[in-house]
């Protein structure tokens, strides 16, 4: 029942125009990335394009994350469904679970849509070969030197980590809104966490790297101990999401829902 209600929540939250607008933004930035990708002369394939898009620092942590947060904005502005869910479940906790599941589904659709756009772009220009191309072998030379991994596997790992990163941003946005009860401030707080992570990563202070979002997203930077780093990243995202979950559930049990009706 909870998953059905989550899907119903998504259907109510997202109008067709809003979805098309988000898709348009994704297509525009993807086309720019695709153009930049084609500038490289080496032989390439579709997996190279996917890694090029989901492993790019600026693309993931600036452009895509901003568009993603905009796509999650309806979760912090919607009102009437809250009361319906409260009556349906007779529990604030179950309302929170439903919202989190809905954010998870919306995040998954966002990541899959981004990947699907890349695949569509490559249909007539790139090969679908699960092998390291000349371009891929050059870019990920250090990683491949110490790790036996297929391009498709690296793409799946990359998509999973990007998904967990976006999901963390989305739930941070949602939980922050439960606490401060202001959409704009919540948006700024969420961006702030992302910016702090970026600044630390760019500062070259390696001691703090394991605590940043960026350290646990970019698979190409994981180096010789890729698999252990990947497992560490999964644990990291699990801990962050668990912390956000407990903060959110603690807050929602105490909050007054009347502010969402104003």
- pLDDT single digits (tens) 196-234: 988 888 887 778 888 888 888 987 676 667 888 889 999
pTM of the model: 0.88
Query: Hey, where are the domains in the chain?
Result: 2-130+141-261
Strand partners, 45: 127
For residue 88, the model assigns a pLDDT of: 58
Crossing angle of helices 65-72 and 92-122, rounded to 10°: 140
- Tell me how far apart the alpha carbons of residues 219 and 126 are, in angstroms, rounded to a whole number: 22
Strand pairing partners for 127?
45
Q: Structure tokens of 240? A: 């962050």
Give the model's confidence band at 116: pLDDT under 50 very low, under 70 low, under 90 confident, else very high.
Answer: very high
Cα distance from N-terminal residue to C-terminal residue, the chain: 29
3 CB-contact burial (10 Å; exposed 0-12 / middle 13-18 / buried 19+): exposed
Interval 143-152: pLDDT, tens: 888 778 899 9
At residue 119, the 3 state secondary structure works out as helix
């Amino acid at each position: 029942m909870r998953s059905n209600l989550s899907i119903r929540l998504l259907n109510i939250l997202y109008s067709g125009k809003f979805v098309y607008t988000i898709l348009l933004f994704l297509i525009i930035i993807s086309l720019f990335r695709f153009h930049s990708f084609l500038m490289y002369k080496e032989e390439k394939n579709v997996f190279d394009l996917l890694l090029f898009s989901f492993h790019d620092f600026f693309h993931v942590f600036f452009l895509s994350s901003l568009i993603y947060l905009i796509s999650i904005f309806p979760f912090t502005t919607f009102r009437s469904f809250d009361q319906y869910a409260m009556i349906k479940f007779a529990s604030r906790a179950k309302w929170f679970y439903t919202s989190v599941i809905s954010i998870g589904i919306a995040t998954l659709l966002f990541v899959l849509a981004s990947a699907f756009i890349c695949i569509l772009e490559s249909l007539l220009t790139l090969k679908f070969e699960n092998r390291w191309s000349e371009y891929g072998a050059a870019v990920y030379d250090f990683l491949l030197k110490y790790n036996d991994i297929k391009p498709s596997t690296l793409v799946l790992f990359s998509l999973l980590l990007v998904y967990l990163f976006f999901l963390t941003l989305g739930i941070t946005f949602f939980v922050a809104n439960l606490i401060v009860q202001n959409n704009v401030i919540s948006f700024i707080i969420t961006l702030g966490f992302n910016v702090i992570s970026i600044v630390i990563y760019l500062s070259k202070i390696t001691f703090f790297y394991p605590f940043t979002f960026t350290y646990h997203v970019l698979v190409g930077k994981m180096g010789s101990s890729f698999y252990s780093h990947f497992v560490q990243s999964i644990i990291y995202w699990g801990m962050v999401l668990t912390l956000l979950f407990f903060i959110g559930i603690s807050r929602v049990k105490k909050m007054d829902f009347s502010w969402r009706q104003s």
